[in-house]
Structure 1
Amino acid sequence: MRVIARDGAAGVTHRTVAREADLPTTATTYYFSSIDALLTAALTECMEEDSARIEALAAAPGDGADKRRALAHLMAEILSPPGHLLAEFELCLLAVGRPAPRAGPPRGGGAPPPAPPPGAPPPPPLATASSALRCRAGPPRPPGAPHRRWKGALATFARQFTDEPLRVKLFTQAYDGMLLQGLLDDRPPTPDEFDELLRELLPDPAGG
């Protein structure tokens, strides 16, 4: 995402990603047959990591108020600095109009990727190349599983406070919107300001 944060999605090429990761260009072309495939992998990885953070907050010890406060601090942290979040939103918005990629065999019609040229170093781990894009022509939408996990993580967090389906849905829909508004504001919200908004969305249970 560092490349997108600095140059925008239009600046992403195999060469720029390899240079950012301090790898030969053949490393990215070995694992990713197209820029779309590379961007999709980066966006999917972002969504998985975002989900894991929310899941960890939901599973952490403490009462609802502690968890809500921890989420407010996380949201403020994500916006300081905003480059990674801005890049992730850019990828997500570009992906909206693209069809989801169909599951299929590896490139080469089911054959394994071609071997590197004689004398070339072995390709690095896949995550090294995709991490050069991480800090979310646009990529196709990532597979549905990461998106479902993300929505599920938010819903699980909301259910720490309420079992009302409408309020749970309201929180899952509003979370990304609060972060997007934070990008647009002249000054990013503080943890206290996020906590105030979260208390409206997820108030303490009656008697809590």
Structure 2
Amino acid sequence: MTIEMSCKVENLKSDQKVSWLKGLDYTVISDDHDVRTHYLTDNERYFIVGDESQGEYNLQIRMVSYQTAEFDSGLYHCAVFYDDPNILHAIIRSAFARLNVYVVPRVMYPQCTVDDVNATDTSEVMEGEAVTLSCQSDAGYPTVSMSWENGNSSTILTESVTVQDDKASVEYTWIPNENDDGAFFICSIYHMAFDCREESERNRSALSGLLKSGDVHQHGNHQYL
């Protein structure tokens, strides 16, 4: 993904320069069309583009991804300075622009397993033996929230999310008894980039009938056993 923020300056004088800055500490990213090498070890992603003769000093950030999302997010603005290292105050500053980079889990998630076996391949468990329900998703940025829910009582069983590398997971372990025959469990993921409840509902998987054998039926992104 490439992001571009515009900055246009009119009547720039020869003893003045345009800089992009980030954050409330005013970390300087660039001077005119040159990105400061000390700003990034990987400054190949940051470029100043546009027609300098037209006063265009647009900040372009390339290859924005899960790995760079936290670093790239933040407050940005451009400013005009005197091209003199002894004069530090800006002549004029633009308004701040807040860049929020959201990395949303792919639609294939969440994915559920029962004792490390794909939920769609498992139809029964043994009474009295511990069972672990696992649910995995892309971690996203900011990190997703996840939960296991008892679908019969709408009781939240756990919301303890573990993140490793770029994946997030939530597990629930319990010992089923005869009252759990036909039990219905739901794993849900929620992300702040989802703009409505329906979007959250679209990204959920379900396990049911864990003590019964039977065919697997799918409806949307729900998985029924």
Q: TM-score w.r.t. structure 2 length?
A: 0.26
**Whose RCO is larger (CA < 8 A, sep 6+)?**
1
Q: TM-score w.r.t. structure 1 length?
A: 0.27
| Larger Rg, first or second structure (1 or 2) | 2
Q: Which has the higher strand share?
A: 2
Q: Which has the higher helix share?
A: 1
